[in-house]
Structures are given as structure tokens and as C-alpha cells.
């Protein structure tokens, strides 16, 4: 499992992920699937660490456990931080909420929670195909928008 221990720094062009899950069983299911998709993974095990990593790196994927450090989804410190970010910073990340409460791919709940995708804990074994589909959908949606922004800025 490639995590913080053997890849503290990312190279240009690396696919990167931050996993903010403090439950070892869920970590052990998600991290190998991200690694299989060629993501370099950092683990965020406490709030200050996660906030520092978010300030230091621009992750392609951020996975947040709804009960991170025994929080509830409504007072989750990492989700709160993601909501505070400006839209340009926020759109750099594909944010996944690992949830007991919400159904996988529940678009309305994802919108309400300000995340890109929800994956229910019961579907963690299928994390890789679910996430891959979500990332592809986001790319299809935002690529024309980002290209238009670049063209407008060039004027």
C-alpha cells in the first residue's frame, strides 16, 4: 500500500488523493483501490494534519469520512473547510463523502453536503469503479467550462 510512508512528495503529473478516514477497516479498503488507479495517497488522520495537507497540496481526490473523529456530517471539520474554500480552489478537488447515512451516488445529498459524490460505506468494496465513473462525469461536465474560462482570461 503506497501511502505517506513511501511518497511524501508528489511529482508533477501525479494523480493524488487525500483520504480523511480515521477508521482503519475503511482505510484498508479504500487506499488499495486508489493505488490500483495509480493515485499517490496521503492519509489525513487528524484535523490539523488534513488542513495542513490541503494548504500544501492540490489533491485530485479528497475522500472524507462523515464521522471523521466522531463528528457528525453537519459538524465535520473537514467538510466545513472544503465549503469555506473559494470555488476555484474547491473545483481543483473531486470530493467524496464516505457515508453511513446517504445512498451511493445520491446527487441531491451530494449537492447539499457540497461534495462531488457520495459513496455509502456498504459500497466501499466497489469504491474504484464508483469513483472512476464519478471523476469521469465531473471531467466531462467541467472541461468545457474550464476551457471557456481560459479562453476568456486570454482576451
Q: Within 13 Å of residue 28, how many CA atoms lie on the same side as its CB?
A: 3
Q: What is the DSSP string of 10-53?
A: --TT-EEEEEE---HHHHHHHHHHHHHTTEEEEE--SHHHHHHH
**Residue spans per domain, the chain:** 4-154
> In the prediction, which pLDDT does 8 show?
59
Q: Name the residue with cell 455509502.
A: 120
Average pLDDT rounded to a whole number, residues 141-145: 80
DSSP summary character for residue 103: P
> In the prediction, which pLDDT does 86 show?
65
15-20 and 94-99 beta bridge pairing: unpaired
C-alpha cell at 130: 464508483
pLDDT digits (tens, 9 = 90+) for 77-92: 888 888 887 666 667 7
pLDDT digits (tens, 9 = 90+) for 4-28: 444 456 777 889 999 999 999 999 9
The model's pTM is 0.85
Farthest CA pair distance, the chain: 51
Q: Which CATH topology does 4-154 take? A: Rossmann fold (3.40.50)
Average pLDDT rounded to a whole number, residues 142-153: 81
Amino acid at each position: 500500500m503506497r501511502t505517506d510512508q513511501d511518497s511524501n512528495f508528489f511529482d508533477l503529473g501525479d494523480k493524488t488523493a487525500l483520504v480523511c478516514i480515521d477508521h482503519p477497516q475503511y482505510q484498508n479498503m479504500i487506499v488499495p483501490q486508489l493505488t490500483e488507479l495509480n493515485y499517490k495517497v496521503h492519509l489525513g488522520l487528524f484535523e490539523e494534519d488534513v488542513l495542513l495537507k490541503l494548504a500544501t497540496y492540490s489533491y485530485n481526490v479528497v475522500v472524507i469520512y462523515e464521522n471523521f473523529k466522531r463528528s457528525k456530517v453537519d459538524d465535520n471539520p473537514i467538510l466545513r473547510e472544503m465549503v469555506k474554500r473559494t470555488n476555484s480552489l474547491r473545483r481543483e478537488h473531486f470530493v467524496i463523502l464516505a457515508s453511513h447515512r446517504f445512498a451511493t451516488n445520491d446527487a441531491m445529498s451530494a449537492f447539499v453536503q457540497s461534495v462531488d459524490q457520495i459513496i455509502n460505506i456498504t459500497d466501499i468494496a466497489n469504491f474504484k469503479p464508483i469513483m472512476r465513473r464519478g471523476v469521469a462525469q465531473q471531467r466531462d461536465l467541467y472541461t468545457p467550462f474550464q476551457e471557456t474560462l481560459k479562453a476568456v482570461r486570454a482576451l
